Amino acid sequence: MKIIVCGAGSVGKSIVSYLVKGNNDISVIDNNQKSLDDLAQEFDILPVLGSASHPSVLEKADAGKAKLLIAATDDDEVNLVSCSVAQALFGISRKIARINSREFQNPLWSILYSDKNIPVDLVISPDEEIGKYIYNILKIPGTSEAHSLVNGKMHLIAFKLPENSPFIKVPLLNLKQIDSDIEIEVVCINRKNNIFIPYKNDVLEGGDIVYILTETDKISATMSAFGAEHSAIERLIVFGGNSVSRCIGRLIEKDDNIISCKIIEEDFEKADETARELNKTIVLQGPMMSDKILSEAGIYGADAAVSVTMKDEDNLLSSMLSKKCGVKNTIALLNSPAYNSLVDIVNNNILVDRSSVTISHILHELRKAEVKKAYSLGRGFAEIWEIPLAEDTKIVGQTIKSIDMPASSKICAIIRDEETIYPSETEVLQAGDDLIIYVDSASIRKVEKILD
């Protein structure tokens, strides 16, 4: 697919880093030559210098051949104009705009985004989405990922299996013998960076990162059964005063279960802006690694620490420092894939990948299958899809075994008449079913053809 990405900054780069994994022809537009050069050195793209809102620049980016434009510059107005020009002059069928201003995000003005006004098919706010994502992880302590499916009825959660879990060395087939109430599907396992779909006779090992599909109202019982349940988070420290931390702060201020949230920001203007936007959240201005600031923030009594600056080094260091201070739950935002090699070094810190969170909100625009929901897992090793089966879908009436899914992908659950089914290979697929499908990144095109 020919795709144009407008903006070579952190958001544009995170989008490009995911898109290049597929069979996509990508042009990137930016008015900063160095940003383009850096991106072109790392990825196979066509760099185009200039303003993304100028017709001549879009033409140089092969807009006439493009099927999708993602306007992800730092300027909302440029993004909106780019979408308008893309439709009016080049007939690009799908347009996504990054919008940072909460004014433009106001539902009252949603009429703006239409073919008659500003032709934007999807509005994304990556920093807001990252803030919401981190908040959702905080609300399910012990998880490293939490993805909502089937209108919130189900969740895919990931957590590290404790060494003392009662399920250690127990074949998956026999889990119900340990806990008869458990109703789950083990989707995949990350064992020392080796990711695989387990068979029923496979066993779990301590330290495994386990991805489990479960009904939402059974999450707590599931975590408890695996020995992975953590205490609720009441006191939170956030490193970095920016739009991500402000989103987290706004959500926490509405949450009566979290007693306090304190944000540390070194830059005076950013700290002041953050303090003015939030009401109950305490903002501390000063060096993030200062003993005095950390003590004032209450680091030794905090339940969780979240690091969301734009510098990955600072996020990793502050998370590790928080661990040393006794904080049990630490989350670090990674803005660049450059730190993939450090995953093993940061121990039990939860790593949130900017590109995975950002791309999850545009995956349904990229996939040929009729996807209701789609999420990128981990740092992009696979995706989880929610797919409705229409009457004319060619796999309707077939058994799961007969549709020849790739070995690295699988149908994890079927939602039929509001009932959740964790199917066997002999299950016959019916029109009206909603499928939850795990898709390895290398199998995306093959699975799309099966669902065509």
**Cα separation of 82 and 66, whole Å?**
13
Residue 345's pLDDT band (cuts 50, 70, 90): very low
Which pLDDT value is given to residue 55?
96
Which pLDDT value is given to residue 110?
65
**Cα separation of 284 and 263, whole Å?**
6
Q: What is the mean pLDDT of residues 270-291?
A: 94
CA quadruple 311, 313, 314, 315: dihedral, nearest 10: 90
Percentage of the residues of the chain whose pLDDT score is greater than 90 = 68
- The residue among 336, 292, 329, 299 whose CA lies nearest residue 314 is 336
- Lowest pLDDT segment from 40-49, 101-110, 134-143: 101-110
Over the stretch 350-376, which tens digit does the pLDDT of each residue have? 889 888 888 888 887 777 668 889 999
Rounded CA Rg of the chain: 23
Q: What is the mean pLDDT of residues 307-329?
A: 93
User: Who contacts 240 (Cβ-Cβ below 8 Å, separation ≥6)?
Assistant: 263, 264, 265, 288, 307, 308, 309, 310, 314, 315
Q: What burial class does residue 447 get, using C-beta atoms within 10 Å of its C-beta: 0-12 exposed, 13-18 middle, 19+ buried?
A: buried
Indicate whether this model's pTM tops 0.85.
Answer: yes
- The residue among 123, 128, 188, 120 whose CA lies nearest residue 157 is 188
- The residue among 281, 278, 336, 328 whose CA lies nearest residue 305 is 328
Alpha helices in 193-285 (DSSP H): 219-225, 243-253, 268-277
Any idea what the Cα angle at residue 131 is, between residues 333 and 330, rounded to 5°? 45
Which pLDDT value is given to residue 340?
55
User: What are the structural domains of the chain?
Assistant: 2-124 (3.40.50.720), 142-225 (3.30.70.1450), 235-358 (3.40.50.720), 362-451 (3.30.70.1450)
Is 132 a residue whose pLDDT tops 90? yes
Which pLDDT value is given to residue 355?
83
Over the stretch 190-242, which tens digit does the pLDDT of each residue have? 998 899 999 999 999 999 999 999 999 999 999 999 999 888 999 999 999 99
Residue 106's pLDDT band (cuts 50, 70, 90): low
3-state secondary structure of 369: coil
Which pLDDT value is given to residue 229?
84
Which pLDDT value is given to residue 338?
66
Which pLDDT value is given to residue 108?
63
Percentage of the residues of the chain whose pLDDT score is greater than 70 = 94
Which pLDDT value is given to residue 287?
94
Higher pLDDT, 304 or 337: 304
**Cα separation of 58 and 68, whole Å?**
12
Sheet holding 2-6: strands in order across?
46-49, 25-30, 2-6, 68-71, 94-98, 122-124
Q: How far apart are the first and last CA of the chain?
A: 17
**What does the mean pLDDT of the chain come to?**
90
Cβ pair 70, 79 in contact under 8 A = no
**Cα separation of 295 and 292, whole Å?**
5
Question: Can you list the positions of beta strands (E) in 417-452?
Answer: 419-421, 434-440
Residue 29's pLDDT band (cuts 50, 70, 90): very high
Residue 64 phi, psi dihedral angles, 5° rounding: -65, -20
Over the stretch 363-415, which tens digit does the pLDDT of each residue have? 877 776 688 899 999 888 899 999 999 888 889 999 999 998 999 999 999 99
